[in-house]
Structure 1
Amino acid sequence: MSITAVPIQPVKRGYVVWLWIGIAAALVIAMALAWKGTAGVVAETGTNAQFLAYNAGQPAVVETDSGLQYQVLEAGKGGATPGDDDLVLVNYSGKLRDGRVFDESRQPTPMSPKSVVPGFAEALKLMPKGAKYRVWMKPDLAYGAEARIDPQTGEEAIPADALLIFDIEMVDFMPEAVVRQMQMQQMMQMQQGQGGAPVQGVPEGAAPPQP
C-alpha cells in the first residue's frame, strides 16, 4: 500500500442520495430554461399561432374563449364595465409583432365598442374605469386577411393577417344616449346664446331638458 495515499473518508448514504437529487434538479432546471429560451425564439420568429401559444403561458396573461389574450397592467377601480350601448374614452397605442407602432391616440379618444374591430371591442368591455390592459389580437379578431393602408401616406400600415398588440387605458365611459343628450343641450344653449332660431320641438326661451 502506498504510504502517500490519503484515504477518503466514507460518506454517509443519506448525503449521497441528497447529492444526486440536487444534481438531478439542477439538470431539470437547466433543461427547462433551455426549452423556454428555444420556445421564445420560435415564438418570436414563428407563426402567429406559435407566438400566441407561447404568450398564453406567460405570467398573468389571460386567454378568453374567443382567443383574445390580455394582461392587466393596472386593475382600475373595478365594478362596472362598458357595454355596446356606451361610449368610451380611452388612450391607446397599437403595434405589430416587430414593435412598429401603427396607431396611437394623442389625447383621450371617444369611441363605441360597436365601431371597432371585434378584439378591441371585447377588450373594452372587460375594462373598468382607470384600468390599463395589454391586449394581443389574432388576425381573426382584428383585420384578418385585409391589409390596412395609411390614408395620409398611402403606404401599408397593417399587413394582411397581422397580429395586433394594444396598450389600452380606460379613462371613462357612459351611455351613448346620455352623451348625445348632452351634445344636444350644448347646441341648444349655443343657439339661444347667439339668438339663433329655436330648436324644433323646444319652445323659444325654454330651459333645455335635464339628463
Structure 2
Amino acid sequence: MTEIHRVPLLPIAKGSLTKIWLGVLVALLVAAGLVWVTRSHDVRVETLVPGNGPSPKIEDVVQINYVAKLTDGTEFDRGQLVPMKLDEVIPGFGQGITRMQKGGKYRLTIPAEKAYGPEEKRNPQTGKVVIPANSDLVFDVDLLDFKTREEIMRQQQMMQQLQQMQGGAGGPPPGAGAPPPPQ
C-alpha cells in the first residue's frame, strides 16, 4: 500500500492572483505589440528568380515590369518596361527595389505605413477607390535594368549631339538618301 503525504498549501494573499494574471496579460500584450510594430514596418522582398550583380541605389533610375495588387489579390496596376526614379516613388517601393539585383524576379510586400498610409487612392476617371486607406501592397517585380542619373544624363547628351550632327531633327542630314533631282 502506498502512503500519501499531504503538503499544506499556504493561502494566497487577497488580490495576489489578480495581480499575477494582470502581469501575465500585460506581458503578453507588450510582446504582441512589439511583434506587430516590428512586422508592420518591415518591407519584405521575396526572391522568385535570383538576379546577379549589384543592386540599385535609391538615387538610381530602374526599368521594371510589375504587377501591383492588394493583399487580397485585387490587381490595381501593371506596367511593362517602366522607368522609375526610386527616390520619387512610395518609400517602401524604393527601399525594396534597392534589395534586388538586375535580371531577378521578386515579390515585394509593402506595409501601409511605407505606402499610402491613411490616404485612399481613387481612379481619376471613375472616382472609384482603387487602394483603400491603410492598405498593405504587393508587387511582383522584374528588375530589367538600372542606371545612375549621371549615366542617363550622359546618354541624353550623346543623343542630342548625334541629332545635331544629323541635321537637328533626328533624321538623316539634308539630301542623304533622297532621290536625285529630275532632269
Q: Please indicate the TM-score interval, normalised by the length of the shorter structure.
A: 0.5 to 0.7
TM-score, normalization by structure 2? 0.66
Aligned residue identity for 1:98: D
Matches within 5 A, 1:103-122: 103-105=77-79, 107-122=80-95
Given that residues 41 and 111 in structure 2 are in contact (C-alpha distance below 8 angstroms), is that contact kept between their aligned partners in structure 1? no
Aligned residue identity for 1:176: R
Given that residues 86 and 94 in structure 2 are in contact (C-alpha distance below 8 angstroms), is that contact kept between their aligned partners in structure 1? yes
Question: Which structure's residues are more often helix, by fraction?
Answer: 1
CA offset digits 1:149-207 (Å, max 9, x no partner): 222333221111111111011101111111122112212322332247xxxxxxxxxxx
Matches within 5 A, 1:60-71: 66-71=41-46
Alpha-carbon separation, structure 2, partners of 1:163 and 1:91: 20
- The structure with higher relative contact order (CA 8 Å, sep 6+) is 2
Alpha-carbon separation, structure 2, partners of 1:113 and 1:88: 7
Alpha-carbon separation, structure 1, partners of 2:42 and 2:124: 30
SS at match of 2:118: coil
What count of residue pairs does the alignment treat as equivalent? Answer: 135
Matches within 5 A, 1:45-84: 66-77=41-52, 79-84=53-58
Alpha-carbon separation, structure 2, partners of 1:67 and 1:81: 19
CA offset digits 1:7-40 (Å, max 9, x no partner): xxxxxxxxxxxxxxxxxxxxxxxxxxxxxxxxxx
Runs of 4+ aligned structure 1 residues displaced above 3 Å come to 63-66
CA RMSD of aligned residues (A): 2.4
CA offset digits 1:28-60 (Å, max 9, x no partner): xxxxxxxxxxxxxxxxxxxxx9xx97xxxxxxx
Residues 172/64 of structure 1: CA separation in 2 closer, same or farther (3 Å cut): farther
**5+ unaligned residues in a row in structure 1: which ranges?**
1-48, 54-62, 197-211
Q: Which residue of 82, 86, 90 maps to 2:60?
A: 86
Given that residues 44 and 109 in structure 2 are in contact (C-alpha distance below 8 angstroms), is that contact kept between their aligned partners in structure 1? yes
1:155 aligns with 2:155: no
Displacement of 1:100 = 1.1
Given that residues 61 and 147 in structure 2 are in contact (C-alpha distance below 8 angstroms), is that contact kept between their aligned partners in structure 1? yes
SS at match of 2:165: helix
**5+ unaligned residues in a row in structure 2: which ranges?**
1-31, 170-183
TM-score, normalization by structure 1? 0.58
Displacement of 1:64 = 8.3
